[in-house]
Structure 1
Amino acid sequence: MITPDEVQETNAMIDRERLDVRTITMGISLLDCASHDVDMLCRNIHRKVVSLAKDLVSTGESIAHQYGIPIVNKRITVTPISLVAAGACHSVDDYVAVAKALDMSAKEVGVNFIGGYSALVSKSMTPAERLLIKSLPRALSQTERVCASVNVGSTKTGIDMDAVALMGRVIKAVAQATGDTDSSGCTKLVVFCNAPDDNPFMAGGFHGVTEGDAVINVGVSGPGVVKTALETARGASFDQLCETIKRTAFKITRMGQLVAQEASRRLDLPFGIIDLSLAPTPAVGDSVGEVLREMGLEQVGAPGTTAALAILNDQVKKGGIMASSYVGGLSGAFIPVSEDATMIQAAAEGSLTLEKLEAMTCVCSVGLDMIPIPGDTSAESISGIIADEAAIGMINQKTTAVRLIPVAGKGVGDTAEFGGLMGGGPILPVNDRSCADFINRGGRIPAPIHSFKN
């Protein structure tokens, strides 16, 4: 039975602590849309997306109104387009046409993002996958709602360094193509190692090939709730600290499961997973950085930051798993710089550096996320950063990702502004020592010894 105290507690989380369902995401398989004709492919994609998702936004708004729970975003993920479009797309122009079809479909049903303009190249690239990657500058500069991702490595296969080298050049090209908006196209592009199949969060979401025809996934966020809960544990032992985080994550996840199951029932689609991720926004009070400070750090980046983040990430996962049998996606703590007011402050003060962020990605739920860097950073340096993150993911059997924004025409001391949930922030310096000879070797970094588990 739900007690009156629990109802009041949940209301307080929503009203004062910025608890929200960050997204209801409908995953849609496009495998049955494949065609040898690009125009037919685009029509098939549009027809299927619109027919399945036409009620997604209104359903989310109805649930939010009925239960008083903010549902911030409604989104769609689709099967990685490189798999769906390989038979029809024989040029960059063909792939851009598909991106525009996705964008038109997203606009028609009213979602804010559609993810899955993606390629999975952890071992090697097919000609179709290479074409999709080369189309990214045009696809992301000529659409509004399309998000893209490329998986360049995994613990089982190693790291495709040819893809890593290509992505450095492509990210630079996307930045130039959207230079009039502080290279905002790069905010919609993620490079993964060990990408999950069921991620409802953008920009890295796609509908995995192991999924069914359509599914409802929900992403829940609540760093403000965790921060408030930790105020009651100031000076307490690590035992009490961990228990407080775990119990709070449990409550947040149960709220998310309620929304997910209700959306699943109303849309007559299977419920997939709850992604419990402490995903911040630029709003004050909605910050993972504030949680870390409440744990006892003067500022994010101080000695102990990585340990504090490890505790937070682990206890969030434990609380989520206690609350639901279907926790998935990227569940844990996000550390995007431009989307978190306290992280922005720490970076501006020089307390938080790119190197410290890389150390923190060993224990967070994703990786180097939403980091503005100088526009003149070389493609090889960007590839080197991607390789570093992919290596962390590959060796540690975890998902890692890179979402860097080399802001065209700006450098250290300048500020980038992307707007909305994407936020903005100071441009972080990048080590200017060259790694070009390393990146340009080509080939593949082999999988680690512990990958052989049959």
Structure 2
Amino acid sequence: MINLFEVAETNKMIEQENLDVRTITIGISLLDCIDGNIDVLCQNIYNKITTIAKDLVKTGEAIEKKYGIPIVNKRISVTPIGFIGASACKSSDDFVKIAKTLDHCAHKVGVNFIGGYSAIVSKGMTKAEKLLIESIPQAMKETELVCSSVNVGSTKTGLNMDAVKLIGETVKATAEITKENDSIGCAKFVVFCNAPDDNPFMAGAFHGVSEADAIINVGVSGPGVVRTAIQTAKGKDFGELCETIKKTAFKITRVGQLVAREASAALNIPFGIIDLSLAPTPAVGDSIADCLQEMGLERVGAPGTTAALAILNDQVKKGGVMASSYVGGLSGAFIPVSEDQGMIDAVEMGALTLEKLEAMTCVCSVGLDMIAIPGKTSAKTIAGIIADEMAIGMINQKTTAVRIIPVIGKDVGEMVEFGGLLGYAPIMPVNQFSCDEFIDRGGRIPAPIHSFKN
């Protein structure tokens, strides 16, 4: 039974502490859309998405009105297009045609983003998947709402370094082709190791082939709520601090569970998972950095930062799994730079570097996220940064990702504005020593020994 105190507490979280449901995402399988004719394939895709997702936005708005819970985004994820387009696509232009179809679908049903312009190449690339990767720069330029991702490795398979090298070139090309908008195309593309099949967050959302025909996944976010809770544990030992975060994560997840069940019933689509990822925004007080600083750090990036983030991430997961039987996706703490005012401030003060961020990704949910770097950074250096982050995921049996933006025409000390939830970011310096020979080796880095569990 919900009592009046819990109602008042939830209202306070929403009104004063930036609690929100970040997204309701419908995952849609496109496997039954496959056809050898590109025009028929695109029509099949359009028909299926616009039929299944036609009421998503209306349903989300109705839930917002009924419970007073902000639902920031309504999104769609689809089966990786590298699979779906394999038969019909004979060129990169064919894949771009599918991307434009997805964009048309997203506009038609009114969602904020559609994800799944993706390829899974952790062990090798088909010809079609290589074409899709090569098409990403043009696809990101010619679409507005399409998000793209590529999974280049896993703990079970190792790292596909041919794909990593190609992705470095793809990121650079995407930056060049969208340079008139501060290389914004790169903000819609992410590269993964150990990508989950049920992630509702962009830019990495796709609908895994093991999923049902359609599914509802909900992402909840509340860094401001967690920060306020941490304030109440000021001066207390780590045991009490952890208990406070865990209990707060439980309450946040219950809000997501409520929204997920309502959306599932209204749309007659099965509920999949709750993703409890503390995703910050540029709004004051809605910052992961602030959560870490409330634990006793002068600035995020100071000694102790990685330990503080490990506490936050672990307790969020522990609280979440007690609140819902189906916690999935990424679930933890995101540490993007451009979307988090506290992170931006730390970079500007010199407290936070790219290398420290990489260390922090060993214990966070994702990886190097929304990081702006000098536009002159080479494709092979970008590939080296990606390889480092993918290795962390592979060895530690966790999801890691890189969403990095070489802003053409800008250098260290300058600022780049992305707008909206993407915020703004200072250009961060990158190590200038070369990794070209390492990247040029090609081939595959073998899976670690602990991957062999059969």
The bucket for the TM-score relative to the shorter chain is: over 0.9
Task: Supply the distance in 1 between the matched residues of 2:231 and 2:286 (Cα, whole angstroms).
Answer: 15
Task: Supply the distance in 2 between the matched residues of 1:169 and 1:411 (Cα, whole angstroms).
Answer: 19
Q: Which residue of 2 aligns with 1:308?
A: 308
Show the 5 A alignment for 1:290-301: 290-301=290-301
Show the 5 A alignment for 1:144-183: 144-183=144-183
Task: Supply the distance in 2 between the matched residues of 1:385 and 1:406 (Cα, whole angstroms).
Answer: 12
Count of residues in correspondence between the two structures:
454
2:113 is the alignment partner of 1:121: no
1:67-120: CA deviation from partner (whole Å, max 9, x where unpaired): 000000000000000000100000011000000000000000000100000000
Q: Which residue of 2 aligns with 1:375?
A: 375
Task: Supply the distance in 2 between the matched residues of 1:351 and 1:230 (Cα, whole angstroms).
Answer: 22
Give, in angstroms, the shift of residue 255 of structure 1: 0.6
Task: Supply the distance in 2 between the matched residues of 1:146 and 1:161 (Cα, whole angstroms).
Answer: 26
Task: Supply the distance in 1 between the matched residues of 2:434 and 2:150 (Cα, whole angstroms).
Answer: 24
SS, match of residue 89 in structure 2: coil
Task: Supply the distance in 2 between the matched residues of 1:126 and 1:374 (Cα, whole angstroms).
Answer: 32
SS, match of residue 433 in structure 2: coil
Task: Supply the distance in 2 between the matched residues of 1:240 and 1:123 (Cα, whole angstroms).
Answer: 44
Q: Which residue of 2 aligns with 1:53?
A: 53
1:28-79: CA deviation from partner (whole Å, max 9, x where unpaired): 0000000000011100000000000000000000000000000000000000
1:194-246: CA deviation from partner (whole Å, max 9, x where unpaired): 00000000000000000010000000000000001111100000011000000
Q: Which residue of 2 aligns with 1:33?
A: 33
SS, match of residue 322 in structure 2: helix
Give, in angstroms, the shift of residue 142 of structure 1: 0.4
Q: Which residue of 1 aligns with 2:419?
A: 419
Which amino acid letter does the alignment assign opposite residue 447 of structure 1? A
SS, match of residue 337 in structure 1: coil
Which amino acid letter does the alignment assign opposite residue 243 of structure 1? E
Q: Which residue of 1 aligns with 2:223?
A: 223
Q: Which residue of 2 aligns with 1:202?
A: 202
2:269 is the alignment partner of 1:269: yes
1:133-156: CA deviation from partner (whole Å, max 9, x where unpaired): 000010000000000000000000
Q: Which residue of 2 aligns with 1:23?
A: 23
Task: Supply the distance in 2 between the matched residues of 1:186 and 1:417 (Cα, whole angstroms).
Answer: 13
Task: Supply the distance in 2 between the matched residues of 1:104 and 1:3 (Cα, whole angstroms).
Answer: 45
Which amino acid letter does the alignment assign opposite residue 108 of structure 1? K
1:287-327: CA deviation from partner (whole Å, max 9, x where unpaired): 00000000110000000000000000000000000100000
Task: Supply the distance in 2 between the matched residues of 1:446 and 1:357 (Cα, whole angstroms).
Answer: 25
CA RMSD of aligned residues (A): 0.4
Task: Supply the distance in 2 between the matched residues of 1:421 and 1:383 (Cα, whole angstroms).
Answer: 26
SS, match of residue 431 in structure 2: coil
Show the 5 A alignment for 1:239-250: 239-250=239-250
Task: Supply the distance in 2 between the matched residues of 1:353 and 1:326 (Cα, whole angstroms).
Answer: 35
Q: Which residue of 2 aligns with 1:82?
A: 82
Task: Supply the distance in 2 between the matched residues of 1:26 and 1:51 (Cα, whole angstroms).
Answer: 12
Which amino acid letter does the alignment assign opposite residue 326 of structure 1? Y
2:398 is the alignment partner of 1:398: yes
SS, match of residue 450 in structure 1: helix
Which amino acid letter does the alignment assign opposite residue 315 of structure 1? Q
1:175-207: CA deviation from partner (whole Å, max 9, x where unpaired): 011101110000000000000000000000000
Give, in angstroms, the shift of residue 424 of structure 1: 1.1
SS, match of residue 153 in structure 2: strand
Give, in angstroms, the shift of residue 433 of structure 1: 0.2
Unaligned runs of 5+ in 1: none
SS, match of residue 387 in structure 1: helix
Task: Supply the distance in 1 between the matched residues of 2:104 and 2:351 (Cα, whole angstroms).
Answer: 43
Q: Which residue of 1 aligns with 2:254?
A: 254
Task: Supply the distance in 1 between the matched residues of 2:321 and 2:399 (Cα, whole angstroms).
Answer: 18
Which amino acid letter does the alignment assign opposite residue 268 of structure 2? D
1:321-342: CA deviation from partner (whole Å, max 9, x where unpaired): 0100000000000000000000
SS, match of residue 73 in structure 2: strand
SS, match of residue 404 in structure 1: strand
Unaligned runs of 5+ in 2: none
Task: Supply the distance in 2 between the matched residues of 1:440 and 1:41 (Cα, whole angstroms).
Answer: 37
- Structure-1-length-normalised TM-score: 1.00
Show the 5 A alignment for 1:420-439: 420-439=420-439
- Structure-2-length-normalised TM-score: 1.00
Q: Which residue of 2 aligns with 1:138?
A: 138
Which amino acid letter does the alignment assign opposite residue 231 of structure 2? E
Give, in angstroms, the shift of residue 3 of structure 1: 1.0
Q: Which residue of 1 aligns with 2:453?
A: 453
Q: Which residue of 2 aligns with 1:348?
A: 348
Q: Which residue of 2 aligns with 1:388?
A: 388
Which amino acid letter does the alignment assign opposite residue 25 of structure 1? T
Q: Which residue of 1 aligns with 2:64?
A: 64
2:237 is the alignment partner of 1:237: yes
Q: Which residue of 1 aligns with 2:440?
A: 440
1:151-174: CA deviation from partner (whole Å, max 9, x where unpaired): 000000000000000000000000
Task: Supply the distance in 2 between the matched residues of 1:123 and 1:406 (Cα, whole angstroms).
Answer: 27
Task: Supply the distance in 1 between the matched residues of 2:225 and 2:442 (Cα, whole angstroms).
Answer: 46
Task: Supply the distance in 2 between the matched residues of 1:79 and 1:226 (Cα, whole angstroms).
Answer: 34
SS, match of residue 300 in structure 2: coil
Task: Supply the distance in 2 between the matched residues of 1:108 and 1:152 (Cα, whole angstroms).
Answer: 32
2:320 is the alignment partner of 1:320: yes
Which amino acid letter does the alignment assign opposite residue 452 of structure 1? F
What is the aligned-residue identity percentage?
72
SS, match of residue 23 in structure 1: strand
Task: Supply the distance in 2 between the matched residues of 1:414 and 1:176 (Cα, whole angstroms).
Answer: 18
SS, match of residue 139 in structure 1: helix
Task: Supply the distance in 1 between the matched residues of 2:231 and 2:306 (Cα, whole angstroms).
Answer: 20
Task: Supply the distance in 2 between the matched residues of 1:177 and 1:31 (Cα, whole angstroms).
Answer: 31
Task: Supply the distance in 2 between the matched residues of 1:276 and 1:326 (Cα, whole angstroms).
Answer: 11
Which amino acid letter does the alignment assign opposite residue 397 of structure 2? Q
